[in-house]
Chains A and B, each alone.
Chain A
Amino acid sequence: MSAEGLDHAQDHEHEHHHKDTFITKYIFSIDHKMIAKQYLLTGIFMGIIGVVISLLFRLQLAWPEQSFKIFSIILGDSYAPNGVMLNDRYLALVTIHGTIMVFFVLTAALSGTFSNLLIPLQLGARDMASGFLNMISYWLFFLSSVIMISSLFIESGPASAGWTIYPPLSALPQAIPGSGAGMTLWLVSMAIFIAASLMGSLNYIVTVINLRTKGMSLTRMPLTIWAFFVTAIIGVISFPVLLSAALLLIFDRSFGTSFFLSDIYIAGEVLHYQGGSPVLFEHLFWFLGHPEVYIILLPALGITSEVIATNSRKPIFGYRAMIMSILAIAFLSTIVWGHHMFISGMNPFLGSVFTFTTLLIAIPSAVKAFNYITTLWKGNLQLNPAMLFSIGLVSTFITGGLTGIILGDSTLDINVHDTYFVVAHFHLVMGISALYGMFAGIYHWFPKMFGRMLNKNLGYVHFWVTAVCAYGVFFPMHFIGLAGLPRRYYTNTNFPLFDDLQNVNVLITVFALIGGAFQLVFLYNFFSSIFYGKRTVQNPWRSNTLEWTTPVEHIHGNWPGEIPEVHRWPYDYSNPAHDEDFVPQNVPMKEGEEVLHH
């Protein structure tokens, strides 16, 4: 069916779509705007759990093996008898924190919210290509979230082998209790999660290819859409590989195959496994795992591009270079996974290859950072909370990205691999950055989602405390990593060598607690503004993109009348040929107006 044909079909559907019940409107909705909100709310819920868990194990790291009442209250006796956290449950918490933040918050909630909200709205489509598939995708994601959370409550504990679930640790309940039923639930949850993610991604790709409005050529798409589009492609390429790894691991665990296991003697007996290799699992895992970093990061960068351009009142600098670097990052991201495995025992020659490809990826990343900075230059910056988070993103992206030069270099990786240096690096470059991107998106598109504005002063407080605490947590962490402190240690007290690092750990925890507490400001702002916020005007940020041409009240099909036609690129801010400092994409070119950009 041609794009116009689909359009007609959707118009038709729109006319007959007046009988919404509560269930079809709020629960089993096929409207992309509602699904976006569902993703966001689920993501916030999961995010709260992920962050609270991290604060709990930070307490253990700062004051090891102390009794905390809060442990008894939140975690209970199975995790912390008498308020002292158990060592295997510490690992369980670390594992679940990583899993929730990486997959459930920064993959599903970030992409799920903003791809769903913005792809149809910014492209000028009535809805996603398949609203039904979209709904199924959300509900599978919801199901996987429920399973993952429920694994926290089983007797033997949730998965505890780290979010990377390397076998044999993840395969053998004898090795750690969490590798029993907890690991089974983890694998089932992730398999469902991957199915949800693939459905979402396919939908995004098809929508971008088929449902752009008239005049919306690929090179007139906002960078948000480019980012979501490319992210979806990477997801479709790499997630199935993790699914296969998960399935093979299920076979090894439950049906006695030996894909990843060989020659194991544990708990006094030899197991039958022979011929498999854990290194194979590492390859499969990181073939997803590294692109995953960009699945998380690219949408955040896309949001940032849009927010920075709008609030700088300037075109994003180097639009085409930005697209090229997104594509370059996407391509390179699929051939760098080995940098997680320099010392895994794979042939050192491969290490050389992966060092080369890994450092190459720094080039498009540098281009993006420089382009953001140049966009600010001589702008007329509107420092809204969304803009602050975007600038914050560029800052942490640079700080975290630079240490990637060390980790990507196989020689230097030898000694910092799996230390806190790595933890500091990836939290800054993808954790905090992507979180900032998500916050920027929420502050910027909240009016579009809920028809009301977030309180800006609360937004400012939220940003500044978060920004100080993020550096406060992760900057000192580089040093303890460089001192040789391994990650995933329950406590360092068995190593007098590390006694001089304990003060730093306390400082990190203090910053983490403050930063964590101030997320309550955001939560308060978010939930109270849904009901009591100031009502928004149609285009509060005076933005060029099409989502702001829709009415504030959500309707099925997005535009009450015709879908607007697009006549220009999305970044005509402060165009000298116009008096206003923004020219929406649906404004026709004036007579004799020239295109001023490449």
Chain B
Amino acid sequence: MTSLFVIIVLGLLAIAIWQLTKMFDLTQVGDVDNSQIANDGDNNTQGYLMFGFLAFIYIFSIFGLFKWGPLVLHTPASKHGAEVDNLMNVTWILIFTVQAITQVLLHFFAFKYRGKKDQKALFFSDSTKLEVIWSGIPAVVLAILILFGLYAWTNIMFVDKNEDTIVIEVYAQQFKWTARYSGADNVLGKANVRLIEGVNTLGVDLSDPNAQDDIVVSELHIPKGKKIHFKFRSQDVLHSAYFPYFRAQMNCVPGMVTEFAFEPVYTSAEYRALPYMVEKVANINSIRAKKSIELVANGETALDPYTFDFLLLCNKICGASHYNMQMKVIVDTPEDYKKWLNDKPTLVQEVKTANAPKPLEGGTGVDSTKAKDSSAIAKMAMK
């Protein structure tokens, strides 16, 4: 289908070039006349083209809906996502209705009332009634949308203090994500970038009692059916934590803690098994298989087949490797989640083990890690 469109466009191109050559014949230099002002013939042609353009908009839109509609995110993986999608669908119905009607009127009028010599337009300068109608209707419709929107927004954005949630910190830096779990007390220890040292890459205040059971990991696991209260920090520039499948996004701002909470309603395995996702992954894999054939022919390695995983993406321009700042998000059953988390050492333990073998070289140890960090960043920036 894409190639069909390319052909149509090429056809238009050909017509345009033909017109161009015709134009050169008509071009004369110098004298005053009205040849460059639209005459009845032009009005006629252009009027029909306007009508044709209306057809183009309609066909292109319908084609797009069928061809690209399936690419669009659906089946939200979070509880509040359903609310967002409902509002979105209602809004889409409104948008398509208005779009369909106004584009018809605009282009049809341009066709229908194309000018003719000796014809006079209707002198119709204003009508209070009409103005009231078409400021009133949008006002009412928008008022309803605003009300629903605000209701949903308040539900999503304000986390009730008494609500039973799991607090997890998502920490952003150029160009990776790290997660910190608050542990048994469900309270994150204080942290500041000035405390970053060695394995304590998040600058957690190790003297804070709340920090004693904090766990730092590079993979984000969350349990299904439990509200997760995310707190976001950034150590360098603005980032944005974007979880498209959960309809969740929040900027990570250096010097500030931001938050967002959502409750996953599918485990990763369950979501993978959804019919639409099976189909999507199959399609992606067929695309990758085709690409692999090309790659292998060029002596490169083939692409791995793809399995779906939820992702956390960076969605605020953050530097050269912005396009590769991602983290896998795994939604487990509550049991699996517990098991996974219990295996992880706390940050305090990690710091101890890191310092234990060479207690005397603590200072230099820190420096070498830093150097490694910065060279890694430099390497990515070079890429």
Contacts and interface: CB of A to CB of B under 8 A. Distances in A.
B is a partner of A: yes
A355 B121 contact: no
Nearest to A369: B102
A374 interface: yes
Which 5 A-B pairs have CB atoms at the shortest separation, nearest pair first?
Answer: A262-B255, A484-B244, A348-B157, A383-B46, A597-B125
A417 B242 CA distance: 9
Contact of A468 (B9, B244, B306): B9
B156 A492 contact: no
A503 B2 CA distance: 8
Contacts of A86: 320
B99 A402 contact: yes
B99 A398 contact: yes
Nearest to A358: B146
A359 interface: yes
Contacts, number: 447
Contacts of B254: 168, 261-264, 278
Contacts of A360: 142
A540 B37 CA distance: 7
Interface string A391-414: 100110011001101100111101
A472 B139 contact: no
A476 B68 contact: yes
B374 interface: yes
Given A175-B236, A266-B174, A456-B42, A356 B71 contact: no
12 contacts: A87-B321, A263-B255, A317-B124, A317-B127, A318-B130, A381-B113, A411-B87, A411-B149, A465-B16, A488-B323, A499-B287, A532-B29
A399 B50 CA distance: 16
A455 B27 contact: yes
Nearest to A161: B317
Interface of B: 2, 5-6, 9, 12-13, 16, 19-20, 22-23, 26-38, 42-43, 46-47, 49-50, 53, 56-57, 60-61, 64, 68-69, 71-73, 83-84, 87-88, 91, 94-95, 98-99, 102-103, 105-107, 109-110, 113-116, 119-128, 130-131, 134-135, 138-139, 142, 145-146, 149-150, 152-154, 156-158, 173-174, 192-194, 196, 203, 232, 235-238, 240, 242, 244-245, 247-251, 253-256, 258, 260, 280, 283-284, 287-288, 303, 306, 308, 311, 313-324, 326, 370-371, 373-374, 377-378, 381, 383
A263 B194 contact: yes
Given A360-B142, A411-B87, A314 B123 contact: yes
A419 interface: yes
Contacts of A377: 109, 113, 122, 124
A479 B142 contact: no
Interface in A463-483: 464-465, 467-469, 471-472, 475-476, 479-480, 482-483
Given A162-B317, A172-B237, A414-B84, 9 more contacts: A175-B318, A265-B235, A269-B370, A318-B126, A356-B146, A376-B110, A409-B149, A415-B84, A469-B9
Nearest to A465: B16
B47 A373 contact: no
Contact of B121 (A318, A411, A417, A573): A573
Identify the interface centre among A345, A398, A417, A535: most chain B CB within 10 Å of its CB.
Answer: A345
Given A265-B196, A521-B20, A465 B240 contact: no
A278 B253 contact: yes
A415 B255 contact: no
Nearest to A569: B125
Contacts of A534: 28, 30-33, 35-36
Contact of B95 (A405, A494, A537): A405
B73 to A, nearest CB: 5
A359 B260 CA distance: 24
A45 interface: no
B146 A268 contact: no
Nearest to B287: A499
Contacts of A484: 73, 242, 244-245, 313
A257 to B, nearest CB: 14
Given A374-B130, A535-B31, A492 B323 contact: yes
Contact of A266 (B94, B103, B235, B311): B235
A380 interface: yes
A405 B378 CA distance: 42
Given A278-B238, A383-B115, A384-B38, A317 B139 contact: no
A184 B22 CA distance: 50
B284 A497 contact: yes
A143 B91 CA distance: 46
A382 B121 contact: no
B317 A321 contact: no
A489 interface: yes
A482 B42 CA distance: 40
A383 B110 contact: yes
A500 interface: yes
A351 B88 contact: no
A529 B158 CA distance: 61
Nearest to B142: A359
B115 A313 contact: yes
Contacts of B249: 343, 414-415, 417-418
B315 A268 contact: no
A39 interface: no
B47 A383 contact: yes
A8 to B, nearest CB: 35
Interface string A435-479: 000000000000000000111111011001101110110011001
Given A363-B135, A405-B95, A391 B30 contact: no
B59 to A, nearest CB: 11
Contact of A373 (B2, B6, B105, B157): B105
A185 B249 CA distance: 33
Nearest to A460: B46
Contacts of A276: 255
A348 B259 CA distance: 10
Nearest to B156: A411
A411 B113 contact: no
